[in-house]
Amino acid sequence: MELLAIGLGVDRMLYREFFEDAVSIMRTNLYPTCQEPNRSHGTGPHCDPNALTILHQDLVGGLDLFVDNKWHKVRPIPGALVINIGDVFANALSNGIYRSCLHRAVVNSHKERRSLVFFMCPRADKLVKPAKELVRTSEGAQESFWISHGQICLNSLKTITELMKLLSKTSPTGSFLLIIPIPNPPNN
């Protein structure tokens, strides 16, 4: 986070307070082989809703990035980590200066794929907003309304719960796949 702050030209310690005593997530992923890999995704296209993602992928590969209107494979490098800026950092903490990237995980027909992912999230009680140095205001402009990271998560969970109730009434089997983008805070 310090390097990102330096790159933005703000105090290198600025983001430390957002992440001290925060609850972050570490997840392992297993993507089994698939006989028709072009008809399936390990995860569909998405941007990470958290602040920063650190990925360790095996040598099988399967991470694709969407750049210049097409998908590009990210070749695994032994011992390397993939660092991805998430929506919270891109849209709120950097005020849109940094961007999160659309990506996906794909499967293949020959080998299963494994990865280890760390999702860095701000403390739930912290207001998610950019440093004052990153906000440009014009005369008469109003300050944006910002909410805490925890409230963003709660609002998303309420939306998911309401959708699940609705879908469980309409699904004949009672099962469904639900992919919901987390709304981004407004940019100034």
d(CA 123, CA 78): 32
pLDDT for res 185: 45
- Reference 55, options 94, 29, 36, 19; nearest CA is 29
Q: Is the pLDDT of residue 173 over 50?
A: no
pLDDT tens-digit profile of 155-171?
555 554 554 555 455 44
**What percentage of the chain carries pLDDT values higher than 70?**
72
pLDDT in tens, 14-27: 988 888 888 888 99
146 vs 12 pLDDT, higher one: 12
* Rounded Cα distance, 96 and 134, in Å: 9
Domains of the chain, each with CATH number or no CATH: 22-133+144-170 (2.60.120.330)
Which residue is catalytic, options 12, 99, 113, 123? 113
Q: How many C-beta neighbours within 10 Å does residue 70 have?
A: 8
CB-CB contact of 109 with 37 (8 Å): yes
- Over 10-60, what HEC string results? CCCCCCHHHHCCCCCEEEEEEECCCCCHHHCCCEEEECCCCCEEEEEECCC
Nearest to 58 by CA among 13, 117, 145: 117
CB 186 within 8 A of CB 156: no
- Is residue 114 part of the annotated active site? The answer reads no
Burial (CB < 10 A; 0-12, 13-18, 19+), residue 123, is middle
Residue pLDDT, tens place only, 38-76: 777 788 898 998 899 999 999 998 999 999 999 999 999
Q: Do residues 116 and 55 make contact, with C-beta atoms less than 8 angstroms apart?
A: yes
CA distance 180 to 22: 24
Q: Are 188 and 135 in contact (CB under 8 A)?
A: yes
